[in-house]
Chain A
Amino acid sequence: MSASPASALDAHIKVGLGGFDLDINLTVAAGQVVALLGPNGAGKTTALRALAGLRPLSGGHIRLQGDTLDDPDGNVFTPPEKRPIGVVFQDYLLFPHLSALDNVAFGPRRHGMAKAEARALAARWLDRMGLAEFVGRKPRHLSGGQAQRVALARALAVNPALLLLDEPLAALDARTRVDTRAELHHHLHDHPGATLIVTHDPLDAMMLADHLVVIEDGAIVQQGDAQTVTARPRTDYIARLVGLNLYQGTATATAVALPGGFILTTAQTHSGQVFVAFPPAAVSLHQNRPEGSPRNTWQATITGVHRHGDNLRIQLGGPLTTAADITPAAAAQLHLTPGQQIWAAVKATETHAYPAE
């Protein structure tokens, strides 16, 4: 039993899903913000629902501040209304028939607080969120950002030991998102309890959380702080999220043999299983085989051309599946069309190799 305040949440979540099982270990310390990051369908929301008691575990356990909330083997299940957990849902689920104030006062009222007291508490929370003038508004008259803050206030008003946020910024437009993210960071920082954010957006995860847990197909594939995870992605998913081409192979000195037989030359010396990563901007494209400095060159087929910021992102097939970023000017010169054969090159010094353990 890990009752130490250092790990407010100690969970081993096992839930059978359609195609695969969700099976992850999560610990979150009081005051810590952890992001559960993963592609759609990885099981993030299921994990959140299991923690909130909205979905039963098939195995494992959930302990919060030393209390066992869930233990299917020991026949322990705590219904959601009995858990000291607050949830901010993806689309907030503010009660449409209640004003912002009554939405926030709803939790304290259900926990037995007198009406006047609960409303005063709710007013203080809304004031803290900068929503003092919106207390009387119904949710349908709130903007997305305001609704998000009301939802946060509502979840925090019950003083939860664990705060869960499901894609807290997904419902917002790009502009509101930037402002709200900064504010959310501030409020989460102030929350004395543990916080778990579920998101598929790496930017949200990195900006809001102290610790990232990446899951794919129901299992944890990588965890650590933002810097570690982005610098050394261990799966294609993370590599794509952070905008890197990623390959795994067997290193002999500076040569890394990939499963298909292709050999990548790197700057560092390694041996055994390694990851090799390089950004799409490091890839150059040529009509003819390029000559010169030590580089990796191969003939590729263009499978797709997309806009990517100011540049074009070229998807390449062939011995390596690669993304390359080039300027529109370069693209015009090369007359790029899907299906076209082209030479790709990456300097060894622009690759980054690290052990795969």
Chain B
Amino acid sequence: MNGHRTGIEGGLALKISRLLAATVAAGVMLLAGCANETPSAPATSAAGVTGNVTVFAASSLTEAFKKIGTEFAAANPGAKVTFNFAGSSALATQINQGAPADVFASAAPANMKTVTDAGNAEGTPAVFVKNQLVIAVPKGNPKGIKGLSDLTKPGLKVALCAEQVPCGAAAKKALDAAKVTLTPVTLEQDVKQALSKVSLGEVDAALVYRTDAKVPTANVDGIEFPESAGAINDYPIVVLKNAPNKTAAQAFLAYVQSDKGLAVLTTAGFQKP
């Protein structure tokens, strides 16, 4: 792109320059937002935050974000948060097809990249939490599983996520790191499906995020294993370029990254970035 401007590249350049302009504008707005709403002084100073914020968030964020949404709305009377929880890739597709969202919180940088590459993000995404894998086993751990190598025991049924989804990619990384080869009975489409197979007792173990295993209704135990450190998942968040309610979106993003927001997230099992 260095100087060689064909017609096509010219168009592209135009797009990029527009994107830059938008990014600069967003940066200015972000600065302004930060000036107004530092995490240490939330809520009261956000008197201007009204209307609806639509947040597209990875399904692993469901419980924590719902709680944050309630708190945010309580702190900002007149503001309301609407969530769309789904797999990160589905959300990214929806956003790129023009879904009217204000904020996107992804469970993996790859899906976030899809959105930023398409020029639909405002500013640079920030990693707000990390998540790591645990072995989910039925409550009480009837098969006595202590680590990844136990998963290769004969007759043991294991569910993994498909490699195409973040939890599957992380699982592969962890298994590779541990030099464990195992044949799962199923490659699930998302982490909640993998978890539910354990909850229902259809499999003896599944590799899921620590946060998922902590959900009380899942009724599973999470077994930590050292190799998961090599497969930590970053959760980026960003305000979207076509956000209908940018002010509120910035405020919500700030709230998520505030101490209060992070407290909710860490209680749910996420790690601080």
Q: Are A and B in contact, CB atoms below 8 Å, in the complex?
A: no
**A interface residues, Cβ below 8 angstroms from B:** none
**B interface residues, Cβ below 8 angstroms from A:** none
